[in-house]
Amino acid sequence: MTTTDSPYVLSHLDVLESEAVHIIREVAGEFERPVILFSGGKDSVVMLHLALKAFAPAPVPFALLHVDTGHNFPEVLAYRDRTVAAHGLRLHVASVQEFIDRGELRERPDGTRNPLQTVPLLDAIARHRFDAVFGGGRRDEEKARAKERVFSLRDEFGGWDPRRQRPELWQLYNGRHAPGEHVRVFPLSNWTELDVWQYIAREKIELPSIYYAHEREVFARDGMWLTPGDWGGPKEGEPVATRMVRYRTVGDMSCTGAVDSTALTTQDVITEITTSRLTERGASRADDRLSEAAMEDRKREGYF
Amino acid sequence: MTDRTLTEGATSLLRFATAGSVDDGKSTLVGRLLHDSKAVLADQLEAVEHASRSRGHDAPDLALLTDGLRAEREQGITIDVAYRYFATPRRRFILADTPGHVQYTRNMVTGASTAELAVVLVDARNGVVEQTRRHAAVAALLRVPHVVLAVNKMDLAGYAESVFAPIAEEFAAYAASLGIPEVTAIPISALTGDNVVTPSAHMDWYGGLTVLEHLETVPVVTDPTAEPARFPVQYVIRPQSAAHPDYRGYAGRLDSGVLRVGDRVSVLPSGRTSTIAGIDALGESVDVAWAPQSVTVRLADDLDVSRGDLIAPTAGPPPITRDVEATVCHVADRPLRVGDRVLLKHTTRTVKALVKELPSRLTLDDLSQHAFPGELAANDIGRVVLRTAEPLALDAYADSRRTGSFLLIDPADGTTLTAGMAGTAFAAGAVRPAADDEGWDF
């Protein structure tokens, strides 16, 4: 029965790819107005790649939505716009800066804009009447995410109640929802950081350049290398130095840290993360260090 | 270098579930598997150590690795199924970690529904208890192909074979009566790590594999040619572009079996037939595809095919029916009653259905059957007879876990009510009427 010599073998990447495509197609079949959250981060890039494969030779039947904190890396924004143009996609941008300028959001004392994304995100979902919202979240990222469903119902306030989730059996996804509610869909639920990188290598997917080692001016804060910028760093007593670094995750510049790295290629990155003793969020996300339940609390509010 | 290294292409994927209560040391076992296979990284361990200290524990409480929600940490219990991921050089694992309390049968059923292997935990000092029998019954009901009995806390039982052997024997006999094809019993100590990842130095009498070695080597790939092809259509791909003016492809995932170009197929439930003209495997044209691949199928004839249809070999189609008899696990807080009008979701097809009868409810502890319970409450297992508004191409669950399973959904608010498995439950003879049938359940 172990079929080492059988022709009917699938690698773990084949199985994960097939599962993700199945999830994406279920959404296309059952929802009216789906949208893909696209930040230019590697998980959203892989998700878009899977959607392109799922509907070929037809175009992807969804628009993209980017929540722009106003503190995004310029390399990532350039990548986003190139990708949208290359595939003839439609992009909606929800801008944190506009909400701050209109006085509907207040800058936090620490300058971090990551938690501020929830309001513009929910506003865009309501305004465009999106009923399914694809996110690149993975269950291996974080403890609260480990309890997330593939199809995750959000109430009319965008909130997530972990105790009232629908049991999800077999691969039968229940996307029924009332008007005003929406469903978050996570096609990469069962992928790990390593799977994502192995898939990027296998499929030769282009990523924003900051995922690979480059020289950058950085300063140390909370044990992470942050990049200087008009978002507010560095403060006095935070000396700037030029180091060889790369980003393991891509988010808001104010809370996404770079790691020391010499990984210039995808293979180098795979080697690097297989020997890393830190998780990607532990190594590079200040916002998840706030408390044991930081992610759970943000998710309850409607965060990604 | 750590053991987390993976060589791409050489690895398969195993989905497995664990069942047991906090008292059996399940979270400790899971924590041990993750920790000793190096899936737990320094910052996670540091967080666990910090949380353990603040709760007054000396040693890191590995259970805290898996209890992710605030309420779980506050109450010290596992509420929901948590999915965990780890890998060895041989295999990638997806673990559905399910709480084992009585009231959480639905979580066990959920975890077991996608599992190819179930680990049932018992405390060596207590042996097979009511809860063990319930866990075995769920594994049997959900047709989990492989079951491991982990006899834990052997360190508190003198590492004695005389403790382990009778427990293993009793469980094997019970599992056999449920129709579970294969049981592997392993004596372990999750606390000390004996026989979890590395072989025990205290149990020379045990010549078998450790838990992780077993997980790495248990055969999971079944021969897809042994099963008939089942291809539920998810979505119709019609680019209508200059490059592809006439392309019409049916997107879906093979739930079982093999499809080849040239195969004679029927589109169900209509029954119209055609031939497979082409298979596109995510951008690459292929001659053959097999479960669980997602592909796009093109047919030689211009048929009316849409989401919810099933493409199956003309030579081996599933039965077409509007009358469904099934074993179900009720998962919602509101009960299921005779006369309820529900939605039935089967593969990519959702139809209206009427609950015609609830012939029995099953007590999982002793597999006794209670006739005509009137309703099924949350976590109840029972038999259901349904009538659907439209025909379904429905396999028996015993033949196909994917095309024999369905959900019942509340049409009013979309709540998932019930998980259903078409056909008969268990092996013949496992279920018996309850002694107290008269006068109790009416």
Residue among B95, B237, B240, B334 with most chain A CBs within 10 A, to mutate: B237
A 39-58 residues inside an 8 A Cβ radius of B = 53-58
Do B201 and B229 have their domain in common?
no
Q: What residues of chain B lie within 8 A of the CB of A172, using their CB?
A: 345, 347, 405-407
Which pLDDT value is given to residue A238? Answer: 86
Beta strands in chain A (DSSP E): 34-37, 63-68, 91-95, 132-134, 151-154, 182-185, 214-221, 224-226, 240-247, 258-260
Q: Report yes or no on B256 lying in a domain.
A: yes
Predicted ipTM of the assembly: 0.90
Q: Report yes or no on B7 lying in a domain.
A: no
Give Cα separations from A260 to A101, A215, A218, A244, A277 (angstroms).
Answer: 35, 10, 11, 6, 13
State the smallest CA–CA distance between residue B308 and chain A in angstroms: 9
Strand partners, B237: B249
Question: End of a domain among B313, B338, B369?
Answer: B313
Do B154 and B249 have their domain in common?
no
Q: Report yes or no on B1 lying in a domain.
A: no
Give Cα separations from A25 to A60, A138, B250 (angstroms).
Answer: 10, 19, 11
Which pLDDT value is given to residue B8? Answer: 44
- Residues shown for chain A: 304
CATH number at residue B124: 3.40.50.300
Arithmetic mean of pLDDT, A69-85: 92
- In this predicted structure, the answer to whether residue A2 has a pLDDT above a threshold of 60 is no
Which one of A176, A189, A194 has the shortest CB-CB distance to B414? A176
**Does the beta-carbon distance from B348 to A29 stay under 8 Å?**
yes
Do B293 and B332 have their domain in common?
no
Which pLDDT value is given to residue B244? Answer: 92
Gyration radius of chain B over CA positions: 24
Which pLDDT value is given to residue A301? Answer: 74
Which one of A22, A165, A202 has the shortest CB-CB distance to B253? A22
Phi, psi of B136 (to 5 degrees): -65, -40
Which pLDDT value is given to residue B19? Answer: 84
Question: End of a domain among B313, B334, B369?
Answer: B313
Which pLDDT value is given to residue A52? Answer: 97
- Distance in angstroms (rounded) separating the CA atoms of residues A232 and B356: 66
What is the band of A21 on the pLDDT scale with cuts at 50, 70, 90?
very high
Question: End of a domain among B270, B294, B313?
Answer: B313
In terms of Cα–Cα distance, which of B341, B283, B344 is closest to B308?
A: B344
Cβ(B368)–Cβ(B435) below 8 Å: yes
Which one of B4, B82, B113 has the shortest CB-CB distance to A169? B113
Do B380 and B425 have their domain in common?
yes
State the smallest CA–CA distance between residue B409 and chain A in angstroms: 8
**Does the beta-carbon distance from B83 to A29 stay under 8 Å?**
no
Instruction: Report yes or no on whether pTM surpasses 0.80.
Output: yes
Per the model's pLDDT, the better-predicted residue between B35 and A77 turns out to be A77
- Distance in angstroms (rounded) separating the CA atoms of residues B332 and B312: 33
Do B128 and B60 have their domain in common?
yes
Do B78 and B197 have their domain in common?
yes
The total of structural domains in chain B comes to: 3
Do B291 and B157 have their domain in common?
no
Q: Report yes or no on B3 lying in a domain.
A: no
Do B360 and B406 have their domain in common?
yes
Q: Report yes or no on B439 lying in a domain.
A: no
Which pLDDT value is given to residue A103? Answer: 87
Cβ-proximal residues to B213 (8 Å cutoff; 6+ apart), any chain: none
Q: What residues of chain B lie within 8 A of the CB of A178, using their CB?
A: 413-414
Do B389 and B308 have their domain in common?
no
Do B99 and B63 have their domain in common?
yes
One pLDDT digit (tens) per residue for chain B, 442 residues: 333 333 444 588 999 999 876 677 887 888 888 887 776 666 677 777 777 777 777 666 666 666 666 666 666 666 678 888 888 888 999 999 887 665 578 888 999 999 999 999 999 999 999 889 989 999 999 999 999 999 999 999 999 999 999 999 999 999 999 999 889 999 999 988 999 999 999 999 999 999 999 999 998 777 888 899 999 999 999 999 999 999 999 999 999 999 999 999 999 999 999 999 999 999 889 999 999 999 999 999 999 999 999 999 999 999 999 999 999 999 999 999 999 999 999 999 999 999 999 999 988 777 888 999 999 999 899 999 999 999 999 999 999 999 999 999 999 999 999 999 999 876 555 666 655 444 333 3
List, in order of start, the domains of chain A with CATH numbers.
12-194+294-301 (3.40.50.620), 209-289 (no CATH)
- Crossing angle for the helix pair A42-55 and A193-203, to the nearest 10 degrees: 50
Do B239 and B212 have their domain in common?
no
A96-145: per-residue pLDDT in tens? Answer: 888 888 888 888 877 777 778 888 899 999 999 999 999 999 988 877 78
Lowest mean pLDDT among A194-203, A227-236, B10-19, B344-353: A227-236
Which pLDDT value is given to residue A107? Answer: 83
Give Cα separations from B137 to B143, B182, B183, B378 (angstroms).
Answer: 10, 14, 13, 17
Q: Report yes or no on B5 lying in a domain.
A: no
Q: Report yes or no on B441 lying in a domain.
A: no
Instruction: Give chain A's largest Cα–Cα span.
Output: 66
Cβ-proximal residues to B312 (8 Å cutoff; 6+ apart), any chain: B228, B229, B230, B231, B265, B266, B268, B318, B393
* Domain coverage including residue B237: 224-313
CATH number at residue B422: 2.40.30.10
Give Cα separations from A250 to A257, A271, A280 (angstroms).
Answer: 9, 20, 10
A150-186: per-residue pLDDT in tens? Answer: 999 998 888 888 777 899 999 999 999 988 899 999 9
Q: What residues of chain B lie within 8 A of the CB of A11, using their CB?
A: 8-12
Do B24 and B163 have their domain in common?
yes
**Does the beta-carbon distance from B69 to A59 stay under 8 Å?**
no
